[in-house]
Amino acid sequence: MRAFVHEGISGFDGLSCRTDVAEEAVEGGKVKIAIKYAGLNHRDLFVVEKRHGAADPALIIGSDGAGIVEEVGKGVENVRPGDEVVIIPSLRWVKKSPAPPEDFEILGLPDNGTLAEKIVVDSAQVALKPDYLTWEKPVYCRSAH
């Protein structure tokens, strides 16, 4: 599979588009999504600067994405193959709280992210894409000012 990977060298020089990235297997409670759209944001740029190059394993960057469910693991009930979904990049922040829990992380570091053809995530990390959002007409946030 193709993916945008950071490895080997700290910073932007460690980024490359690879075509030989293995697809992750779908286990119980997980969902495989064929990525339709992914976004590059400032966090992804910070991630490549923070990594230590050769000391860190290869990482698919990207936190934001949406796509189509391709496969579901045992026990998954909130989505099924063919569903259009958005990916929720917050990991382990399940209870409403004013601050994230101690074990909170964001998709794209330390786990592989969305800048790939496919991604496997926990089923709790996906929500059905609202019908009013289309693939052809993206909705952009506007400043309140």
Give the dihedral sign, CA 129/132/133/134. Answer: positive
What is the per-residue pLDDT across 17-76, written as a single tens digit (0 to 9) for each? Answer: 999 999 999 999 999 999 999 988 889 888 988 888 677 899 999 999 999 999 999 999
Question: Residue 42: helix, strand or coil by DSSP?
Answer: helix
Q: Which two tokens stand for residue 63?
A: 């936190």
- Structural domains of the chain in order of their starting residue, each with its CATH number: 3-128 (3.90.180.10)
What percentage of the chain has pLDDT greater than the value 70? 93
Is 64 in contact with 106 (CB distance < 8 Å)? no
Q: What is the pTM of this model?
A: 0.88
Distance CA 66, CA 37 (A): 5
CA atoms within 13 A on the CB side of 65: 29
